[in-house]
């Protein structure tokens, strides 16, 4: 599936991943290939995405994620270092 991570300042990541985990308002959840369509608010927490080549973690301050037809778009409020 294709993942894009975007903040108001810039695009942080764009590429194909095998899984992505998000800090949802009601708890963390994982998205895999062929996931049902979804829109969810995100709270402050860690986003983790993995592929065969990489495993990355990113701390966001909140945002919104949309999942549709194996495309995942994360609009993050901001990134913490």
pLDDT tens by residue, 40-79? 999 999 999 999 889 999 999 999 999 999 999 999 999 9
Where do the structural domains in the chain lie, given as residue ranges? 2-80
Q: What is the pLDDT of residue 13?
A: 96
Separation of alpha carbons 76 and 39, rounded Å: 13
Predicted confidence at residue 77, as pLDDT, reads 97
- Predicted confidence at residue 81, as pLDDT, reads 78
2-80 folds as ATP Synthase; domain 1 (2.60.15)
CA distance 39 to 42: 10
Residue 2 near residue 19, CB atoms below 8 Å: no
How many other CB atoms are found less than 10 A from the CB of residue 56? 14
| Residue-wise pLDDT tens digits, 17-51 | 999 999 999 999 999 999 999 999 999 999 999 99
Q: d(Cα 55, Cα 49) in Å, to the nearest integer? A: 6
* Predicted pLDDT at 74: 98
């Amino acid at each position: 599936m294709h993942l894009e991570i975007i903040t108001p300042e810039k695009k942080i990541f764009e590429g194909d991943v095998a899984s992505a985990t998000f800090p949802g308002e009601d708890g963390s959840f994982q998205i895999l290939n062929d996931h049902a369509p979804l829109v969810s608010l995100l709270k402050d927490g860690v986003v983790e995405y993995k592929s065969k080549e990489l495993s990355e973690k990113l701390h966001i301050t909140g945002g919104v994620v949309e999942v549709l037809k194996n495309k995942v778009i994360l609009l993050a409020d901001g990134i913490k270092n």
